[in-house]
Structure 1
């Protein structure tokens, strides 16, 4: 065995330069973005207490309800054997509010295993929580709805801010902020139909939004639509959207382009056809002589003027 060969990095994230002491110790000191030092302690939450004693911090962007068992399959497999990195949390009223590691927390619940937590007892300001969460976030990118919820919270915190302000502050385009907010406005009951909600794309959210608006306009009970949307395990997101359309009786109106109508064909080269778009009609003549064109033009003029035309 080649002892010099690099080992594959374990699943999880490194605490990196944030830790002041060894990860083997029971307590570690973090230096926050503002220079304040905070002590974090280690705790193993028993398997039967993980769901009760831990929850996602209000400023954690990840939407816990959308962390499905299928989407977390790799993490569940890993954490069933070994949890390489602890969940970072703040102890609030005897429970652990996770700042980082929501996917690991939910995976531990699915796997039925305990959860290693690195927590602080000191009160953190919103600015400190936000900075710490951002610094720790190196795993899977947040979903569109994760970001949409975060944008909505920012708008509620400061009603004077616009979507453009949020876009500049968070480093996104205004268009993305608007679309993410729209994605977040879709009811959770609809999103729960998807086995891989975090993989939904902006175009797919736009399609789902149209279906939902159709449901509202047609005054169909949403619960009925959900019940009629039969989704089996392993169903792809795009298939769920099609099933949802059927349940909501949503049919996308296709714009049909007006086709030319050939009303005269003397031969393959000499013909006449018309095309009508709303109140306009275009007549096309092929291989018409100047004399024929003059006669046709004169005939049209008489018809348009309402003059008597001899058969």
Structure 2
């Protein structure tokens, strides 16, 4: 985790030019962005103190110092929370691998959302459950190990399904980084990152950027093989009692072509054999 903290702070320093914060640019620079001593000056701490923090050797950092460093680095709310998670990693007991469980009430709620594609996203972006319309849109039931990150980077049809694949890929990596900060020393997440790094050049390029982004709401464009382009807005809701699970719902604008195409897809899906909110023969497993 100390390595993650140092990598994150260095990546944020590299984004800021001295002239952007009222400092002289100076002569030739070996690295982009702010030097350590410049950031320490902006945050009002000693250079030695900041160096020890970046190296993970300052475990008792005050909130005031972290706030000052966050302001100096121009971190947003999500990045500031990520910094705190890296400095003060949560102490969680290591557990044996086990299936992430979705409560029956949440599964029933998915069933009742019959005109809205919806699914439950768990730790490490595992897709834990979905309703039939979400399956018709994304094809979750055809995945051997339903996981949004693995699907984005390794599935052969992902670039066709997501016309704005580059944006989807960047958001996926940023959310995985956020999950890593919230749950340090997770061997299953480390295994997933290792798998994606070995098999995807694009993932290897994006992961070192240290971007973090929460999955709250946004836009998702899907090019469906039957009905064509579907432009969704998505909203996410934390499942009460289990902060590691998110209920994700896709909506379309009223009167839009996407609404008409989604209705057509729903009619097509209704003519197919009934589907459960999760495939009974492929219950998503914890990785």
* Same-fold status (TM-score > 0.5): no
TM-score band w.r.t. shorter chain: under 0.3
Structure with the largest fraction of helix: 2
The normalised TM-score by structure 1 is: 0.24
Which structure: greater strand fraction? 1
Q: TM-score, normalised by structure 2?
A: 0.25
**Which of 1 and 2 has higher RCO (CA within 8 Å, sep 6+)?**
2
